[in-house]
Amino acid sequence: MVGAFDRVTSDIFRIQEDIAAAIATALQLRLSGNRTGSVTAHRLNSYNLYLKGRHQWGERTADALKRSIVYFEHAVAMDPTFAVAFAGLADAHTLLADYGIVAPSEALPKAKEAAERALELDPACAEAYTSLALIRTLVEWRWEEAESLYRQAIKLKPSYAVAHHWYSIDYLAMLGRFEEAFAEMDVALDLNPLSGILREGRASLRTFARQYGEAVRLFQEALNLDPTFYKGYTSFGRTLILLGEYGKAIEMLERGRSLAGEVPNILAALGQAHALAGNRERALWFIEELERLSTFRYVPSTCYAVVCLGLGQHGKALDYLEASAGRRELTLSGLGIHPLWDPLRGEARFHALLDRIGLGFLR
């Protein structure tokens, strides 16, 4: 059986699914007719569904995240005691809100309920501690508690790459603790070296730290490894905006858009890039497009703020950021450190926003 898995592949999740299926088959043969065998088969089948959910979740597109929820829901329906599958469900709902696909008010109660259910089922579930830590950070702004949860997750399961990833980019970096963030991201990549989101995250960290040359190198490396991962293009595009390379930024953002579809965050970055490039009419078109989308789906207030920044409309940008805080939009966690918001750092209203989300010390 080992020889069946002795092959070179870039799809580590597919290998895990094959192994889980093979183990399930072997155990069913060994334990057929035995009640314990039936229970074991249910858990292994549920685990296989969980892996499929994580594979979809790792793609990070709106459609893939929604497909991951279907897999996670099937996994918990098959085995309602499977804590890790509830953690997966929590993570999918959180990312739908984080990426501006679903309103926080709709997605986050589901995410929190699933994470808390996972911990009820298994108080030693590292995945559930990680899920809850992300919610504490991005939604509730309970920073100290979030760090405790991340540390507990890593203590329980040092091999869980997601814990190191989110502790790095969604906690340490947001507090300006970049050297620690770099180290944690390196650990995550050592654990999962083929992950597109981790490679994109490593490059984005350098952008947050204003190490733009290194960020560009790492984005290029990530895209060479996986030219189909849309966030590699869109995050690279945002970095190029900061460098003033607006034409190239628009090219990268449009390539990401072609892979991901009409994602409001991508449209906002395109509007900002066109505005800064002097294409005011095109920038205003992107605002109109965001308004059109908002008639039938959720559009984060931060998206309008980004385009307004490009247009030099700082007062309007602050209006939208204040509305964003009222909606508990997850992207606000980057206000303290993201270079995107540098034009607003001298504004008293911006300082008040930092105080509101618990990051006033980063003024």
Helix or strand (DSSP H, E) at 358: none
Concatenating the DSSP letter of every residue in 192-260 gives -TT-HHHHHHHHHHHHHTT-HHHHHHHHHHHHHH-TT-HHHHHHHHHHHHHTT-HHHHHHHHHHHHHHH
In a domain, 345, yes or no: yes
Tell me the residue type at 280: R
DSSP state for residue 79 in the 8-state scheme: -
Q: Are 274 and 251 in contact (CB under 8 A)?
A: no
**pLDDT of 309:** 98
Q: What local confidence, expressed as pLDDT, does residue 29 receive?
A: 36
Q: Is residue 295 in a domain?
A: yes
Could you count the other beta carbons within 10 Å of the beta carbon of residue 4? 9
- For residue 300, count other CB atoms closer than 10 A to its CB: 28
Regions of the chain with pLDDT less than 70: 1-39
Per-residue burial over 247-271, b = 16 or more CB atoms within 10 Å of its CB, e = otherwise: eebbbbbebbbebbeebbbbbbbbb
C-alpha distances in angstroms, 107 versus 54, 166, 181, 244, 246?
18, 19, 27, 35, 34
DSSP 172: I
Cβ burial 206-221 (10 Å sphere, 16+ → b, else e):
bbbbebeeebbebbee
Q: Tens digit of pLDDT for each residue in 150-182?
A: 999 999 999 999 999 999 999 999 999 999 999
Does residue 315 lie within any of the structural domains?
yes
Question: What are residue 346's phi and psi, to 5 degrees?
Answer: -90, 0
Please report whether residue 27 resides in a domain. no
In a domain, 14, yes or no: no
What was the pLDDT predicted at 189?
98
- The structural domain count of the chain equals 1
Cα separation, 182 vs 18, in Å, equals 33
Please give the pLDDT value at position 296.
94
pLDDT given for residue 43 in this prediction = 80
Q: What is the pLDDT of residue 39?
A: 52
Give SS3 for 311.
coil
In whole angstroms, what is the distance from residue 324 CA to residue 331 CA? Answer: 9
pLDDT tens figures, 28-51 = 433 333 444 445 777 888 999 999
Does a structural domain hold residue 312?
yes
Q: Is residue 2 part of a domain?
A: no
Q: Tell me how far apart the alpha carbons of residues 74 and 63 are, in angstroms, rounded to a whole number.
A: 17
**Concatenated DSSP letters of 30-72:** HHTT-HHHHHHHHHHHHHHHHHHHHHHHHH--HHHHHHHHHHH
Does residue 184 belong to any structural domain of this protein? no
Print the domain residue range for 298.
262-363
pLDDT of 84 reads 96
